[in-house]
Structure 1
Amino acid sequence: MINKLKIINDPVHGFIKIPYEIVFDVIEHPYFQRLRRISQTGLLSLVYPGAVHTRFHHALGATHLMYTALETLKVKGVEISQEEEEAAMLAILLHDVGHGPYSHALEMLLMDNCHHEKLSLLLMSQLNQDFNGRLSLAIEMFLGKYPRKFFKQLISSQLDVDRLDYLKRDSFYSGVSEGNVNAQRIITMLNVHEEELVVDSKGIYSIENFLTARMFMYWQVYFHKTSVVAENILVKILKRAKELSLAGDLLPATEQLSYFLKKAPNEGLASGDLHRFTQLDDSDIMFGLKSWSQHSDKILSHLCQSITERNFPKSIIYSKEINPGIVQEIIKITNDFYQVKDADWFVDVIEKSLLPYDAAQQPIYMKNKENKVYRLEEAENQILAQHITEANTKYILSFPREVLSKANQLIKI
């Protein structure tokens, strides 16, 4: 008989327990094993070389934190059944199972505007059939339909185990210490009041540190201008490859990628598309990039070489909107340089916004020793919470370095 109660050695959290056989069985399923071949942070390793970890790593880490959180709540007197614990662990284990290769944006191109959360739900439903309904409660929690709201809040909210893991993990692998949150301390401070998740009042500074760490990670890591530009180029590559494929160009590609490149826009999900999607991973995309880098189409080959050779365009970050007239002038200069009509493939203005703490839609609640519950930003001893409730927006202008000398006359660098 196979021992399914495993212990996994994780570089971020240490030893991770797999306490239930059903969790082990789902981990062993090909849908989940695919996550070993899906990068957690897309092309971020082109900026931070150590950031080569996968969504498989992250899903296991988040599942470990879910188990730790539920065990902590049980110690505090919250009644949680084994069935509920299993379901919550399965829900967080599979929360990213619908992610496609490299980029969040690629799923919109390859899967006809089907968001990864919808794909995750479709795959969870398929797994539920494979496991004879054992995932029904997990799906209910994932959708937020289970009456005990704190389960959904642990899976997805402003203070969930998903964020606790990816901040700590991405900080570890990227080497950016600003994101290293004390996940164990935060979990120790969690509590439940009237079936909703709250934080014991003495944990307020850990929560504020968590929110600011997330803000710093976004601006310093996830929204790093080079990483943002690289992801934008990857999206354009797939868009261009799809245009050429639909026009009859037989681009070299793996069987599954070729299928999605030839699939007409707005066609919807056909029978078998979901299974084909589960055959896609980062290696399909990288094979395409390497193959297309020598293609006769100037646009496709240039964009592919930007990533395979790490030869990115010039990028400048601004705190205010960029004059559209300047952008059009740079496009014209680029047109003349490359002798093409489609220089907007090479010139971009990318907008990135972040709301550090959404106090209106998803407030974090604290609870004091008198069992009084109040919002984080209303706490008398809060320091930062009320100051991080407004969105901040940055604008990234990118254009070919070959036209930098002429573009320099238009912009202040």
Structure 2
Amino acid sequence: MNKLKILNDPIYGFITIPNSIIFDLIQHKYFQRLRRITQMGMSYLVYPGAHHTRFHHAIGCVHLMQQAVNVLRFKGVTISKDEETALYVAILLHDIGHGPFSHAMEHSIVDNVSHEEISLLFMERLNEEFNGSLTLAIQIFKGEYSKKFMCQLISGQLDMDRADYLKRDSFYTGVAEGNINSERLITMLNVVNDELVIEEKGIYSVEKFIVARRLMYWQVYLHKTGLVAEQLLIRVLKRAKELHESGKKLQGSNALMHFLDHKVSFENFDHETLDVFSRLDDYDIISAMKHWRFNDDFVLSNLCEMIINRNLLKIKMKKKKIKSESLQKHFDSFVHEYKITPDEASYFVFTGSISNQAYQLKHKGINILHKSGKIEDIVKASDQLNLKALSKRVTKYYICYPKCKL
């Protein structure tokens, strides 16, 4: 019943919705929720323009997938009409399971349930509504389809997900280092022995892609201010759950209170839980924090105040592990200053680590197809010595503590 639509995107210009099933999925309430899920979590506290959503990103991924299908077909790769639609569905829905502020939920009010697992639950539920028409898309999403290159287009080291989010996040943050040439990368795509390859002419675009990924992680995704803000949000939700379980009444939306009321793990993530989750978004959390900042609990009120007014903890990054004496000094000082328990102080004084690996050498790498027909990994094919260095995991350590009086 739905006519096809054209959307105007600030990155790619006009995007055409390819068929009616994609239109119907976009119109579905589960997908519309992504308009209310920030693509980059708390990064807008660092980069004021980073208010774009998972909805933007998913639509952009479909656009890039359309380009990839057209390029591969032009080069003689067989992709049936059903496979084409399945690729569009899988990439459209690949992030549908993200919770409020993207990653904070996974570590706080649900028990280590990843957004990928919730995405799959959404897809299976939608498959029931759409009379089994998502079955092939689910196979591709899970990496179980016989044509492996299709699985790589959804989840690989040069997939349509990364091709969109690097360019999009670069645009909205204003960090030019992440602006990759996704169109050229896709134009250079080919398939050999059921594996995605990049033709030799595209080698410099791949090098730029890997370097851009590394720079975006250190400069944007793992920026220390964004990092401490996300850690505070995780602690807000943990504290709220702890207080709620102890019998303290808290204000919040019905959807949020459901997750504070129940211990939710993958095993009990049933249809009812999924429906409640589909009503939960960034606005529930922001609204709750605006109430909770006036709560009489020292921990909850101060954590919420810090996020709402961007008066965050001080964070220091180190190349080596934080010494226990340094942590203890800040810990003891805070306990003494506010006459609180060590457990309460642990919400404000803590350490952790972050790591960045721009390219995984041993995990389905990016292969270059030479004119001779030889195929080799980008690290070996490239004359850029730094690419090998970028395949090594770099870990940094951080310590967080209050700047001064709360």
TM-score (normalised: structure 1)? 0.95
Q: How does 1:325-364 map to 2 (within 5 A)?
A: 325-341=325-341, 342-364=344-366
Q: Name 1:300's counterpart in structure 2.
A: 300
Q: How does 1:9-408 map to 2 (within 5 A)?
A: 9-264=8-263, 268-341=268-341, 342-379=344-381, 381-402=383-404
User: Structure 1 residues 34, 298: closer, same or farther in 2, change over 3 A?
Assistant: same
SS in 2 for 1:57: helix
CA contact (8 A) 1:103 1:231 kept: no
* CA deviation after TM superposition for structure 1 residue 356, in Å: 1.2
* CA deviation after TM superposition for structure 1 residue 186, in Å: 0.5
Q: How many residues align?
A: 403
CA contact (8 A) 2:2 2:23 kept: no
User: Structure 1 residues 380, 211: closer, same or farther in 2, change over 3 A?
Assistant: closer
CA contact (8 A) 1:112 1:269 kept: no
Task: Give the RMSD, CA atoms, in angstroms.
Answer: 1.4
Q: Which structure 1 residue ranges, 5 or more long, are not aligned? A: 405-413
User: Structure 1 residues 16, 253: closer, same or farther in 2, change over 3 A?
Assistant: same
CA contact (8 A) 1:66 1:89 kept: yes
Give the Cα separation in 1 of the matches to 2:77 and 2:346. Answer: 57
Counterpart of 1:395, as a letter, is: Y
Give the Cα separation in 1 of the matches to 2:231 and 2:372. Answer: 51
Instruction: Kindly provide the CA deviation profile for residues 368-402 of structure 1, in whole angstroms up to 9, marking residues without a partner as x.
Output: 11221111111164443222111111112111011
Q: Name 1:410's counterpart in structure 2.
A: none
Give the Cα separation in 2 of the matches to 1:245 and 1:333. Answer: 28
* CA deviation after TM superposition for structure 1 residue 403, in Å: 6.5
* CA deviation after TM superposition for structure 1 residue 109, in Å: 2.7
Q: Which moved more, 1:286-295 or 1:338-347?
A: 338-347
CA contact (8 A) 2:87 2:140 kept: yes
Give the Cα separation in 2 of the matches to 1:7 and 1:249. Answer: 49
SS in 2 for 1:353: strand
Give the Cα separation in 2 of the matches to 1:301 and 1:244. Answer: 12
SS in 1 for 2:404: helix
Instruction: Kindly provide the CA deviation profile for residues 284-333 of structure 1, in whole angstroms up to 9, marking residues without a partner as x.
Output: 00011100001000000000000001101111111111101210121011
Runs (4+) of structure 1 moved beyond 6 Å? none
SS in 2 for 1:243: helix
CA contact (8 A) 2:109 2:238 kept: no
CA contact (8 A) 2:2 2:24 kept: no
Give the Cα separation in 2 of the matches to 1:233 and 1:110. Answer: 14
Give the Cα separation in 2 of the matches to 1:332 and 1:379. Answer: 54
Counterpart of 2:197, as a letter, is: V
* CA deviation after TM superposition for structure 1 residue 270, in Å: 4.6
User: Structure 1 residues 53, 380: closer, same or farther in 2, change over 3 A?
Assistant: closer
SS in 2 for 1:164: helix
CA contact (8 A) 1:335 1:343 kept: yes
Q: Name 1:411's counterpart in structure 2.
A: none
SS in 2 for 1:198: strand
CA contact (8 A) 2:214 2:390 kept: no
Instruction: Kindly provide the CA deviation profile for residues 247-272 of structure 1, in whole angstroms up to 9, marking residues without a partner as x.
Output: 11110000110111111366833551
Counterpart of 2:354, as a letter, is: K
* CA deviation after TM superposition for structure 1 residue 12, in Å: 0.7
% identical equivalent positions: 49
CA contact (8 A) 2:152 2:159 kept: yes
CA contact (8 A) 1:208 1:384 kept: no
SS in 1 for 2:317: strand
Give the Cα separation in 1 of the matches to 2:25 and 2:332. Answer: 53
Give the Cα separation in 1 of the matches to 2:252 and 2:283. Answer: 11
* CA deviation after TM superposition for structure 1 residue 349, in Å: 1.3
Q: Which structure 2 residue ranges, 5 or more long, are not aligned? A: none
